[in-house]
Chain A
Amino acid sequence: MLKNMKKTGSGKTNFPPTDYERIFHPRRLAIIGVSADASGAGFGTGIFKSITAMGFAGKIFPVNPKGGSLDGQNIFKSLEDIPEEIDFAVIAVAARFVPDVLEACLKKGAAGAEIISSGFSELGTEEGRELERRIKEIAAKGIRVVGPNCFGIYCPASGLTLLPGPDLSRESGPVGFLAQSGGMAIDFAHAGKWMGVRFSKMVSFGNGADLREAELLRYFKDDPETKVISMYIEGIQDGDSFFKEIKAAAGKKPVIVYKGGLSRAGARSVASHTASMGGSGTIWKSVLKQANAIQVHDTEELAQASLAFALLPPKKFSGISVIGGGGAIGVTACDTAEIYGMEIPPLAEDIQQRIYDYLPKPGSSAINPVDVANPFVPPQSLKSVLLAAAEDQRIELQIIVSLLYHYKSIAKMFNKPVAEITPYKELAQAVRDVVDQTAKPVIAVLPNAKRGVDDLDIVEMIALTKKEYVDRGIPVFDELHDAIRAIGHINTYYGGKNHDER
């Protein structure tokens, strides 16, 4: 056996001991079901190429009974031919061959295997169910299985990647993600890359024949690399153990849940009011609240909440300042803040006076929200405004809303590209400086009303601006509402965590 065995949790529930270290950071990886160069590309080859493209540092042993070579690497005809033990395996052979291959992986000493192949219980056929039952039996003998019918594991630190993910980030971060759906995982992995969400590990477990939600929650709870747990679930296997694990996990770190499939279809007929009002959606909402997990309602909200939890300090933010252009911003900010239980208090009089001095006149307002009157206020002035506002003790977090798309009119005037004329780098750096000097977080919001084909230059400039923020560790959102909602989730979590006798 290889180095530090990491065993699961406190043993309250009888999860089998599992060497997660060798699963997430394998040094010797078998990929079963690749095709030789000439014979076209299946899933096995796809994952081989993806993992290679990611720069996986360990040894890779491709396997196919026909042998041959792939990208200059010898293909082993069987697992037995591999000259050493393996840590982990990716299985992408036809469903009917999977049990034998899994058994062979077990004999090769693998701590785990991900089964990309489909054709199991999801078909609803007797044959599919039987194959899945056999997978469970083999898993119980001592090899942990992710899948079948999944996209597998993404671990930036080791270079393991999801099935179609040759270009995911190698930068590790605090967010652990688990989902049944592989599509959800790959979407979030890609979105995370430009949004600035960095992952510790991502597991798409498909049918979840062996490893699934409750046990993975336990793992992520105890995993020091994971600070925030995000998940997408459709069904759960066991409500009792799920509840225990999610409650325990949320007691230790934020858990964000997107529960799919909350329709009322299939609800049993009931006799009482209580039962008629306790549909699946209501109960899920209640159970997640009871566990102090954060419920979100779509993938965007999931990603935004993950970003906020990952980048903001672990505390409740009651008072916020909003600085930006456009009269409606003030109204939107106040309305949204009220919904999510935070306050945008008027700044102290002396601070207001100083801020007013930095702003163009007429049309600006220094009360809070601070209306900067036009979108072309120089980054250095905005920096002065943010620094001044941070001096108010009630302000715990600041939001800066920049309507950068207006720079297109200036670009036209000077006949220059909009990305050249917009001082977005200076802006991002100014915000970073403010955070460093004040120790109060700032969130950037970059609304863009011009996203059509006429304005691809603006779309590009906004994307570049985002990158400057992301590179500096500043959370950035498209809309003010999204930002405030994400802070609201943080407040709900830390508010729920610390209130009387849990």
Chain B
Amino acid sequence: MTKDKAVKIICDARRKGSKTLSEYESKQVLAAYDIPVTKEILLKDKSNLEKTIRKIGYPLVMKGCSPEIAHKTEKGLIHVDIRTIKEAKKVFNEIMAGMKGFDGGVLVQQMIKGGRELVMGMNRDAQFGPCVMFGLGGIFTEILKDISFRRAPLKKRDALDMMREIRGHKILDAVRGMEAVDKKLLIDMLMNIGRIGMEIPEISEIDLNPVIIDGSKPVVVDALIVLEKV
């Protein structure tokens, strides 16, 4: 049961007193709803690092992962394009040192390469309840605010309209030698975000940013789930 699995993750987080889910927990909730996320493993100590890397494969991204830490980039807790075990071990130590005092671990993650970044999300409106967002991702989210919203539950047509509505919608087409984005997959993702909003009232906000297009397939690379205040 997708919902049960997601709710269990949320209950565990709440028991620990968290107001947000860590990136790793957030992605498990997403995966439970068939939303494609990066392949990743959370490590608490270095002894399993080599085994983990064999499962994920180079190049790697390594991130400090804790529900207590937002703005990982600014804190120097994200390292990308790691290609050797030597480098991985060094980064592991650095991240653990940077996280001193926080509960968490190192997220060893598949590196997704793609020139196009999207954002998706969910917010609860006081009047209309869960609303799903779609738009241009990465640094453009805040700069261009090229986004669209629809109220959940979403119909297929609503998801399509959200994509058409943004000014930069052509980014989804076959442009500059890149494949057209798999729209069916995008539709499913948006509809499933809406389902989470409908089915799990404990979640107040969702931010998936960036969602990077890998070939034609969107993959959630970073995620934040905010819980309702108890």
Q: Is the CB of B123 within 8 A of A272?
A: yes
Check A274/B127 contact, CB under 8 A, given A286-B149, A501-B157.
no
**Complex contacts, A268 vs chain B, CB 8 Å:** 126
Nearest-neighbour CB distance to chain A for B161, whole angstroms, equals 7
| Interface-facing stretch out of B85-93, B104-112, B204-212, B213-221 | B204-212
Answer yes or no: A299 CB below 8 A from chain B CBs. Answer: no
A274 / chain B contacts, CB cutoff of 8 Å: 119, 121-123, 133, 205-207
CB-CB < 8 A to B204: which residues of A?
Answer: 275
B14 within 8 A of A: no
Chain A minimum-CB-distance residue to B149: A286
Residues from chain A with a CB closer than 8 A to the CB of B209 are 273
Q: How large is the interface on B (under 10, 10 to 19, 20 to 34, 35 or more residues)?
A: 35 or more
Q: What 0/1 readout, one digit per residue, does chain B (190-230) give for beta carbons within 8 Å of chain A?
A: 00000000000000111101000000000000001010000
How far apart sit A280 and B131, CA to CA, in the bound complex (Å)? 11
Beta-carbon nearest neighbor of B160 in chain A = A500
- By the criterion CB–CB under 8 Å, are A273 and B119 in contact? yes
Indicate whether B151 reaches chain A with its CB closer than 8 angstroms. yes
Is the CB–CB distance between A502 and B161 below 8 Å? no
Q: Any chain A CB within 8 A of the CB of B147?
A: yes
**Closest Cβ of chain B: how far from A463's Cβ, in Å?**
41
Contact A272 B206 (CB under 8 A): yes
Q: Which of A272, A287, A500, A501 contacts B224 (CB 8 A)?
A: A272
Residues of A within 8 A of B119 (CB): 273-274
Instruction: Take A239-B127, A274-B207, A278-B149 as given contacts and tell me if A290 and B133 are in contact as well, using a CB distance cutoff of 8 Å.
Output: no
Q: In residues 235-259 of chain A, which contact B (Cβ within 8 Å)? A: 236, 239-240, 242-243
Contact assessment for A236 and B127 in the assembled complex, using a CB-CB cutoff below 8 Å: yes
Asked whether B125 is an interface residue with its Cβ less than 8 Å from the other chain, the reply is: yes
Instruction: Please encode chain B, from 133 to 162, with 1 for each CB lying within 8 Å of some chain A CB and 0 for all others.
Output: 100000001100101111100011110110
Q: Quick check: A270 and B20 within 8 Å, CB to CB?
A: no
- Residues of A within 8 A of B (CB-CB), count: 25
Contact, CB under 8 Å: A272 / B207: yes
Q: Does A272 contact B205, Cβ atoms closer than 8 Å? A: yes
Instruction: Give every chain A residue within 8 A of B122 (Cβ-Cβ).
Output: 274
**A270 vs B123: C-alpha distance in the bound complex, in angstroms?**
9
Max chain B C-beta neighbours (<10 A), residue from A240, A243, A289 = A289
Q: Which residue of A lies closest to B207 (CB)?
A: A272
**In the complex, which of the residues B141, B149, B165, B207 has the most CB atoms of chain A within 10 Å of its own CB atom?**
B149
Distance of A33 Cα from B129 Cα, bound (Å):
43
Residue from A268, A272, A275 with most neighbouring chain B CB atoms (10 Å): A272
Q: Are A275 and B129 in contact (CB under 8 A)?
A: no
Name the residue of chain A whose CB is nearest to the CB of B162: A286
- Min Cβ gap B22→A in Å is 14
CA distance A274 to B70 in the complex (A): 15
Docked pose: A242 CA to B207 CA in angstroms: 27
Q: Please classify the interface of chain B as helix (H, G, I), strand (E, B), loop, or mixed, using the class held by over half of its residues.
A: strand
Residue of A236, A239, A286 touching B148 (CB-CB under 8 A)? A286
CB proximity to A under 8 Å, residues B93-125: 119, 121-123, 125
Residues on the A chain within 8 Å of B125, using CB:
239, 278, 280, 283
Q: Is the pair B226, A272 in contact by a Cβ cutoff of 8 Å?
A: yes
Complex CA–CA separation, A268 to B226 (angstroms): 14
Contact present for A283 and B128 (CB under 8 Å): yes
- B133 — nearest CB in chain A belongs to which residue? A274
CB distance from A261 to the nearest CB of B (A): 12
State the Cβ distance, B102 to closest chain A Cβ, in Å: 17
Contact between chains at A287 and B151 (CB < 8 Å): yes
Is the beta-carbon distance between A275 and B128 smaller than 8 angstroms?
no
Q: Which listed residue (A236, A286, A502) contacts B131, Cβ 8 A?
A: A286
Q: How far is the CB of B120 from chain A (nearest CB, A)?
A: 8
Using known A-B contacts A236-B127, A271-B20, A501-B156, determine if residue A286 contacts B150 with beta carbons closer than 8 Å. yes
Given A239-B129, A278-B123, are A502 and B226 neighbors across the interface (CB < 8 Å)?
A: no
* A275 and B205 in contact, given A286-B149, A287-B151 (Cβ under 8 angstroms): yes
The distance from the CB of A113 to the nearest CB of chain B, in whole angstroms, is 29
Chain B residues with CB under 8 Å of A500's CB are 157, 160
- Interface mask (A260-287 → B, CB under 8 Å = 1, otherwise 0): 0000000010111111011010110011
Q: How far is the CA of A282 from the CA of B146 in the complex (A)?
A: 12
Contact partners of B123 in chain A: CB under 8 A: 270, 272, 274-275, 278
B85 to chain A, nearest CB (A): 35
CB-nearest residue of chain A relative to B224? A272
Of all A-B residue pairs in the complex, the 10 with the closest CB atoms, nearest first, are A274-B121, A286-B149, A239-B127, A272-B207, A272-B205, A239-B128, A275-B123, A278-B123, A283-B125, A274-B133
Given A270-B123, A273-B142, A274-B119, 8 extra CB contacts under 8 A: A270-B205, A271-B20, A271-B205, A271-B226, A273-B207, A274-B133, A277-B147, A289-B165
> Could you list some 27 contacts between A and B, CB below 8 A?
A236-B127, A239-B125, A242-B127, A271-B70, A271-B224, A272-B121, A273-B121, A275-B204, A275-B205, A277-B145, A278-B131, A280-B125, A280-B126, A282-B147, A282-B149, A283-B125, A286-B148, A286-B150, A286-B151, A287-B131, A287-B151, A290-B150, A290-B151, A290-B161, A500-B160, A501-B156, A502-B155
Residues of A within 8 A of B (CB): 236, 239-240, 242-243, 268, 270-275, 277-278, 280, 282-283, 286-287, 289-290, 499-502
